[in-house]
Structure 1
Amino acid sequence: MERFFKLKELGSNVRTEIMAGLTTFMTMAYILAVNPMILGGEGLLDPYGVFLATALAAGIFTIAMGVFVNFPVAVAPGMGLNAFFATTIIASQATDNPISPSMGLAAVFISGIIFLILTLTQIRQMLIVAIPDSLKHAITVGIGLFIAIIGLKNSGVLTVSIEGWVQSTGSFQDLGGSDTVFHMGSLENANVWLTLVGLAIIAVLMVLKVRGAILFGIVLTTLIGMIPGVDVTNIDSLKGADWTPQFDQLNFWDFDFADLLTTGLLTAIATFTFVELFDTFGTLVGTANRAGFFKNKEEGKKRVGKAMFVDAVAVSGGAMLGTSTVTAYVESSAGIAEGGRSGLTSVTTGVFFLLALFLAPLALLVPSSATSAALIIVGVLMIQSIKEIDFSDFVVGIPAFLTIALMPFTYNIANGISFGIVSYVLLATVANFAGNKEHKVHWLMWILAILVIARYAFIGSQG
């Protein structure tokens, strides 16, 4: 292993790499419980099938990242993109062109093929240069708020009113004509206060810098939910549970390409590709820099390029297994902080994900209260990028704000990205005509802006 992973050359050893891999697994294992909840909600995909796909995709492609790239980065179905997958399908049911889960998986698969082509032709790197850093950070922040709202809404802590009526635990209550859109949920609801308890537990553990704080918080919240009188955790489901993976329930190659040209599906493909493009690039470059790979710039670029290839294959591979977009995880930095420097870290993380296949009954036992608390905390982690945005410079500040605000408030990631691109092209162009040459508009940004305007003009805001 020392020769294959070049441990001595990288200043590491087997023990350090294995501990780093375990640390990475502990910090991102929450996805095993959260992903089935998001993709298995409201009659979308089978939760157990999603669990199998999540564990398999994370295990197989994280090991591939270690073996073929020698890179200490783990991949798994991405937060934000899984939420976009679910909300796109649910929202489309009220339109003339509803999208089925099989069509959604087909969109993810195609986005992975596009991603692979962009990587092999080097166009991907060109797109990264075209988009200003402020918008890249704004996209991350907006998705963070989007995820937090999903957590708040799923738990009942946040309710949403429609013309004076408020939705709460599946029913609507008359508010006497109130025009307020968002409302605080009722603390009489066990799910609400249990979510707040879970949020407090995870927050305290993170303040104490406990590794795997999110995972431990989910476990403790689940245990509290088993207390008599609370009863939000169905402990009886463990009786007679089959702990052997039932791979026949895997949604393998569950694609519907028949309605590929429907407007909603085309928009979904574009969004999956667009968001994953920036999310993965930022994660790979950030983790590579933290691991010290860019001390030799050429070697660093080469390694990141190989990692992008594996990541692109993982997107389509994950869709084949039955889950939303697979992406590089920023939580990998936890393992790097523990000393992980080689692919052995990734291989270790991947092995733990594969072992998790035998723990499905426990993962599916987790109540929505526990996963909702985790979603809110993930939002906190993602919103940290806001400090990288200079809001005093209105050329970048206004587009960044529109990107951040429109994602959660319109409940649509694509809307935020679209308004950010168009507004940046407009304001940067005006600034250039006024003599401020600080902000350049790449020619690809013009193409993206035109495509966005055409999309709203010919497809509409619901497309």
Structure 2
Amino acid sequence: MDRLFRLRENHTNARTEILAGITTFIAMAYILIVNPLTLTAGGATGMNFNAVFIATALGAGLVTMAMGFFVNYPIALAPGMGLNAYFAAVVMSSHGAITWQIGLASVFISGIIFIILTITKIRQILLEAVPESIRHAITVGIGLFITIIGFKNSGLLTAMYIGKDPAKPFTAFGSNDWLLQLGNFVENKAVLLTIIGLLIIGILMVMRVQAAILIGIILTTIIGIPMGVTNLASLHNAHWIPQFGDMTVGHLNFAGALHAGLLTIVFTFTFVELFDTFGTLTGTAAKAGLLDKPDAKKKIGQAMLVDAGGVSLGALLGTSTITAFVESAAGVAQGGRTGLTSVTTGILFVLSLFLAPLALIVPGEATAPALIIVGVLMMGAVRGIEWDNMVYAIPAFLTIIMMPLTYSIANGISAGIIFFVVLATANNFAGGKNKVHWMMWILAVLILLRFMFIDLNV
């Protein structure tokens, strides 16, 4: 294992890597149930729940193991949240014009586009084009994004309606009709369990206990049993053998996609995936100290190629876009530094095909504290931002703040790029010497097109 994953060279060992892989899996395990629920939408999309479950577990397992073996990075991949919701929304809102088979064909094509962009090294140029301060801001922003996920999943953060129309949806933070408030931990046992889990992990980390995050998740899950939050129902009358006969492998309708607004759908998947993956890969790799290595550019290119191939593979298996997961940071925080972490996570995803009821008993209230702690750990990158230089400080701040407030990694990166290009150019006219890479101009144009023609909530 040391020769295959270069453990000693990365100052780690097999035990640490395996524990980190388990931690990442537990933090991501929610996708096994959330993705099928999202894509099937109660039967509205026509997709089969069990088929999507198998595609989710198998796709996440295979692509994550590929990341470990071929790139030696501790980054896990699975069907991405946001893109799966967009996928379901497109199918449901088309009133039959766009079937799930057409949607999967569009996802497959976006994966091919990514492979081409990666082989031609266009995606890798992003590492050189994006200023260091913005790269650090991406890491911090993702940390806050992960924290918001933890708060949201646990009920620690809720929306309170103060307007006149109860049916009016919550559309913005601090709007006139809605306010954000702290969840009720006195009456809501789920919120209380999250706070207990947060204290457990925090205490273990202060005491420098190894595998603090993993132990915290397990202890919180156990404590949740008498509280009635951890649901053991899935263990009764459970189907421990996967129903492979339900799978929808290769059900792609390319002909139908050509007549159903293919360009718009593919462009959306491609654009959002581009920034989400770039942000997650660089942010997680930076946290693991992998971007400081001499072969960082080559490795990021390989990681992007695995990610691109995973997009198309996921579509073939029958699920929406497979992408790098921000929860990979949980494993990195646990000490994961090599591909052994990813291989461990991937194996657990494959095994979850047979142990799904056991894997799914871990409640969101047990993983939420881990995500919040990861946010704390990723905040350290804020020290690398040039706060005294407004050319970098303003774009970096917007990158950070837009991710959690708009619930989108892509929106944060987009804001940072646009403002950097404009401010750096203005400063140059005033006698400054800020280098603006040509790729940044291209990205700025693409971002403007996205703002004009594509749903910004994706």
Q: TM exceeds 0.5?
A: yes
The residue aligned with 2:159 is 160
Q: Give how far 1:93 is off.
A: 9.1
Query: Which residues of structure 1 form unaligned runs of 5+?
Result: none
What letter corresponds to residue 440 of structure 2 in structure 1?
A: M
Q: Give how far 1:427 is off.
A: 0.4
What letter corresponds to residue 195 of structure 1 in structure 2?
A: T
Which aligned pairs between 1:61-100 and structure 2 lie closer than 5 A? 61-69=63-71, 71=72, 73-77=74-78, 82-86=80-84, 88=86
Q: Give how far 1:395 is off.
A: 0.8
**1:211-250: per-residue Cα shift (whole Å, max 9, x none)?**
44333333222222221xx322332331222222333455
The percentage of aligned residue pairs carrying the same residue is 45
Distance 1:330 1:102 in 2: 33
The residue aligned with 2:44 is none
Query: Comparing 394-403 with 127-136, which one deviates more in the overlay?
Result: 127-136
The residue aligned with 1:273 is 274
What letter corresponds to residue 229 of structure 2 in structure 1?
A: V
What letter corresponds to residue 424 of structure 1 in structure 2?
A: F
Q: Rate the CA distance shift 1:265–1:434 in 2: closer, same or farther, 3 A.
A: same
The residue aligned with 1:118 is 117
Are 1:52 and 1:250, in contact at CA under 8 Å, matched by a contact in 2?
Answer: yes
Q: Give how far 1:255 is off.
A: 5.3
Query: Comparing 324-333 with 154-163, which one deviates more in the overlay?
Result: 324-333
Distance 1:149 1:185 in 2: 13
Distance 1:454 1:207 in 2: 47
**1:154-188: per-residue Cα shift (whole Å, max 9, x none)?**
32221213453799xxx99xxxx975621122231
The residue aligned with 1:440 is 435
Distance 1:323 1:213 in 2: 33
Distance 1:267 1:32 in 2: 24
Which aligned pairs between 1:417-456 and structure 2 lie closer than 5 A? 417-437=413-433, 439-456=434-451
What letter corresponds to residue 138 of structure 1 in structure 2?
A: A
The residue aligned with 1:371 is 367
What SS is found at the alignment partner of 1:181?
Answer: strand
What letter corresponds to residue 430 of structure 2 in structure 1?
A: A
Q: How many residues align?
A: 437
Are 1:112 and 1:316, in contact at CA under 8 Å, matched by a contact in 2?
Answer: yes
Are 1:160 and 1:166, in contact at CA under 8 Å, matched by a contact in 2?
Answer: no
Q: Give how far 1:116 is off.
A: 1.6
What letter corresponds to residue 278 of structure 2 in structure 1?
A: L
Q: Is 1:327 the equivalent of 2:334? A: no
RMSD, aligned CA: 4.1
The residue aligned with 1:24 is 20
Distance 2:123 2:448 in 1: 22
Are 1:318 and 1:326, in contact at CA under 8 Å, matched by a contact in 2?
Answer: no
Distance 2:212 2:51 in 1: 26
Q: Rate the CA distance shift 1:307–1:275 in 2: closer, same or farther, 3 A.
A: closer
Query: Comparing 60-69 with 118-127, which one deviates more in the overlay?
Result: 60-69
Are 2:30 and 2:360, in contact at CA under 8 Å, matched by a contact in 1?
Answer: no
Q: Rate the CA distance shift 1:130–1:139 in 2: closer, same or farther, 3 A.
A: same
Query: Comparing 99-108 with 259-268, which one deviates more in the overlay?
Result: 99-108
Q: Give how far 1:206 is off.
A: 3.1
Q: Give how far 1:323 is off.
A: 5.5
Distance 1:148 1:165 in 2: 31
Distance 2:182 2:341 in 1: 43
Query: Which residues of structure 2 form unaligned runs of 5+?
Result: 42-46
Q: Rate the CA distance shift 1:283–1:457 in 2: closer, same or farther, 3 A.
A: closer
Q: Give how far 1:58 is off.
A: 4.4
Are 2:115 and 2:308, in contact at CA under 8 Å, matched by a contact in 1?
Answer: yes
Q: Give how far 1:401 is off.
A: 1.5
What SS is found at the alignment partner of 1:448?
Answer: helix
**1:321-377: per-residue Cα shift (whole Å, max 9, x none)?**
425433284556568x58x77x66755554444334332111222223223333333
Are 2:60 and 2:322, in contact at CA under 8 Å, matched by a contact in 1?
Answer: no
Alignment match of 1:33 (pick from 20, 29, 34): 29
The residue aligned with 2:198 is 199
The residue aligned with 1:235 is 232
Which aligned pairs between 1:50-449 and structure 2 lie closer than 5 A? 52-69=54-71, 71=72, 73-77=74-78, 82-86=80-84, 88=86, 108-164=107-163, 181-187=179-185, 188-227=187-226, 230-250=227-247, 252-253=249-250, 258=257, 259-261=260-262, 263=264, 266-281=267-282, 283-284=284-285, 287=288, 289=290, 294=293, 297=294, 302=298, 305-321=301-317, 322=319, 324-327=321-324, 329-330=328-329, 333=332, 347=343, 350-437=346-433, 439-449=434-444
Q: Report the TM-score when normalising by structure 1.
A: 0.77
**1:112-165: per-residue Cα shift (whole Å, max 9, x none)?**
323221221122222221122222232333333233223323322212134537
What SS is found at the alignment partner of 1:159?
Answer: strand
What SS is found at the alignment partner of 2:77?
Answer: strand
What letter corresponds to residue 365 of structure 1 in structure 2?
A: I
What SS is found at the alignment partner of 1:160?
Answer: strand
Distance 1:380 1:46 in 2: 38
What letter corresponds to residue 236 of structure 1 in structure 2?
A: A
Q: Rate the CA distance shift 1:28–1:397 in 2: closer, same or farther, 3 A.
A: same
Q: Report the TM-score when normalising by structure 2.
A: 0.78
Distance 2:102 2:138 in 1: 25
What letter corresponds to residue 266 of structure 1 in structure 2?
A: F
**1:82-115: per-residue Cα shift (whole Å, max 9, x none)?**
3332554577799789998777765654443232
